Structure 1
């Protein structure tokens, strides 16, 4: 074998042993660090948190008695002029009074429970926002890791192809090869250069989206990820499905909404009770007449038709919330099952790549390369095996990122740490 062919083999062997993991220009940032940063800085999470805090301030408002009313009266007699008759009629007076509405016992408490349950729902929605942002950060991070890793594969294979082009050129010059071999190798190199350019474009897009999730300046240094490593799944399908009912953020929102509607229904039924209002007024006349003292007690009876409509509305809203919960639960359970099947299938496929396809393809490529060096094989066969090996390595990387992305989504669905 020529020294050029030997160099090409060594370069490709190094690329295979590392599976395309190229040294990073800067220190990789762990995913956990970016998740913490997103939780602190993401404006969507902050906005949802402020909304939940605002909702907590509703209960003190609706459980407080209605504002008291203070009244000032002046009654004139014999003339519309102020204080007319005040000194010569016992009917003229200056009155000062106050009144207070008193809702039927239990109404304010139930309104407060509705407000508290609504605040609980808002808080649960914060969890949905947090997990949604975390899921997006994970997806971007894994995609970026995949692009950085496969970029390393492409660059290493570009270097290998450069060596093969030189080797084919040497063979052609000494009459042991054809010019079309060189041209075919150069065409393959152009394809790899095109893939590298597309990788840079995709990496730029993912970097921009990831920085927006982290609320970083777009001009900040690019994020370098840790290398992709296969994470075996240790949970069974039944365990994951059980976690959905307990930990899934959307299910928690739906369950909280039902509790809110329960409180709303109880409050609507209580609204059928009458409300009261008490008042007291002191009326001052001239000193030669006696003063007046007046106490009032009013009762307000709600219209039955309105109250019945409120009760019916609350009951329908509760039924809607129950059906929404059932629909979301089935949807989340189906997603968990689908992702679980994908994860387990990908693990089998990764093992096949790692233990069978890639080593066999590498061995076939090197054997063909040795045969070509001894003029026992055509250069087209070398390029064919080289392309097959490159594609297998890229397919392995794609399967790996699909596996890790499915695991990350399972974490979102189940609330469990799986990676």
Structure 2
């Protein structure tokens, strides 16, 4: 159940720092929640989600029950003790008149055939391992879902801030357009256009706030908080080092996931359990022995003692044995097919998630190095040109709108890296997200 992390903590932190991709958006709001370290917020949210999740508590109880079954599976059946009297005359009950009347105590112990108890114990251990691996997979998925919701909120907060900044800019432009129209240097269409753009931004802002409310509800419910609990705005920070390549390559990640993925480990444990049940079906043909010893006390005659050994005849019903073995063989075949399917799904999901990660990295780099600088230069040039009357209002508005659009897209690509990493963790089951516990570790703070 224990495994090493795919990436060291620095690599994970760098990958998750995608939420702080430089977008040209101001982060100075002055309210204390936005100054809180985002990694600490994410760690806290993941810890709370794992600590409060009743499904994890249920699984931990099932794991504990399975752990108790392992030692039970290797134990001998309970011995039997029998007390009684034998051969008492019916017509005139007496313990001393007949030579055959006796008070008797006997003890009996059944001994399963060689190989049965070890096979039962190994099957129980395989069940325990499968439950532990399923638990680790579930923990990784919950942490990934929390991270995905967190990054979605970061994206929405940044985009809302961009739209609010754009609206303030348009308000200033509208004032300028009205003033130019008042003195006869501008057209009424410019004023109407400015008002239309402001209304459009109001509509976009309403949509973004509604979407944020939905994502906040998801973020809260993943932590088992009331859906309407206020979620503080996300903090922005320094630029994300997009060119950093210390993260595991796709080939290394797939190789490690093949070796350590909880989903594969669970399927392998289920296959081991099926194989042990098949072995148990094979040794079912061996007879179980029962040893019996007794002591008989008689009132007027010599006491008696004896011992017997008996065994069952499992081969007396060969059809039952053959059906039992065929059943176990079918379970082994099913477990093998399940393992193959899990490996195939793992390969597909890692490929999809890694492709999304690479796409967002490349696009984030493109926005940082080319598109955003060009858009900012274009906007500044348009603003200066409009101020001196070299271009019309529509051209200026288009330059401002383009800048806002590219800033929002840059934010999407930056947070997309974090969301793709969360999807990659969910696909592989490996602890890639900062704050995700390693399999085998405690997820609840006791």
TM range (shorter): 0.7 to 0.9
Largest Rg, 1 or 2: 1
Q: Is the 8 A contact 1:76 1:85 kept in 2?
A: no
CA-CA distance at 1:274 after TM superposition: 0.4
Map Cα deviations across residues 50-73 of structure 1 (whole Å, 9 max, x no partner). 211211011122211111222122
Map Cα deviations across residues 224-263 of structure 1 (whole Å, 9 max, x no partner). 4343746545332222221221222211211222222222
RMSD between aligned alpha carbons? 2.5
Change (3 A) 1:262 1:106: same
Change (3 A) 1:388 1:113: same
Q: Is the 8 A contact 1:244 1:333 kept in 2?
A: no
Among 123, 141, 149, the alignment partner of 2:158 is 149
2:252 is equivalent to residue 239 of structure 1? yes
Among 182, 199, 205, the alignment partner of 1:196 is 205
CA-CA distance at 1:98 after TM superposition: 1.8
Matches within 5 A, 1:361-380: 361-380=375-394
Could you say what secondary structure the match of 1:311 adopts?
helix
Change (3 A) 1:338 1:198: same
The CA distance in 2 between the partners of 1:137 and 1:17, in whole Å, is 24
Q: Paired residue for 1:267? A: 280
CA-CA distance at 1:418 after TM superposition: 7.5
Change (3 A) 1:212 1:397: same
Give unmatched runs, 5+ long, in structure 1.
Answer: 1-15
CA-CA distance at 1:300 after TM superposition: 0.8
Map Cα deviations across residues 124-144 of structure 1 (whole Å, 9 max, x no partner). 111111111111011111111
Number of residue equivalences: 401
Matches within 5 A, 1:76-225: 77-79=88-90, 84-216=93-225, 218=227, 221-225=230-234
Give unmatched runs, 5+ long, in structure 2.
Answer: 1-21, 435-446
**Normalising by the residue count of structure 2, what TM-score does the alignment of the two structures yield?**
0.82
Q: Name whichever of 128-137 and 394-403 sits farther off.
A: 394-403
CA-CA distance at 1:382 after TM superposition: 1.8
Could you say what secondary structure the match of 1:57 adopts?
helix
Change (3 A) 1:265 1:24: farther
Q: Paired residue for 1:334? A: 348
**Normalising by the residue count of structure 1, what TM-score does the alignment of the two structures yield?**
0.87
Among 27, 31, 36, the alignment partner of 2:47 is 36
Change (3 A) 1:24 1:127: farther
The CA distance in 2 between the partners of 1:268 and 1:39, in whole Å, is 40
Among 312, 317, 342, the alignment partner of 2:326 is 312
Q: Name whichever of 96-105 and 339-348 sits farther off.
A: 339-348
Q: Paired residue for 2:73? A: 62
The CA distance in 1 between the partners of 2:122 and 2:236, in whole Å, is 50
Q: Name whichever of 219-228 and 270-279 sits farther off.
A: 219-228
2:328 is equivalent to residue 283 of structure 1? no
Q: Paired residue for 1:19? A: 25
Q: Name whichever of 288-297 and 380-389 sits farther off.
A: 288-297
Q: Is the 8 A contact 1:20 1:151 kept in 2?
A: no
Map Cα deviations across residues 320-379 of structure 1 (whole Å, 9 max, x no partner). 222212222122112222222222232222222222222222322332222222233221
Q: Name whichever of 210-219 and 113-122 sits farther off.
A: 210-219
The CA distance in 2 between the partners of 1:94 and 1:145, in whole Å, is 84
The CA distance in 2 between the partners of 1:133 and 1:416, in whole Å, is 11
The CA distance in 1 between the partners of 2:23 and 2:323, in whole Å, is 72
The CA distance in 1 between the partners of 2:109 and 2:433, in whole Å, is 59
Q: Is the 8 A contact 1:143 1:401 kept in 2?
A: yes
Larger RCO: Structure 1 or Structure 2 (Cα < 8 Å, ≥ 6 residues apart)? 2
Change (3 A) 1:400 1:29: closer
The CA distance in 2 between the partners of 1:281 and 1:17, in whole Å, is 89
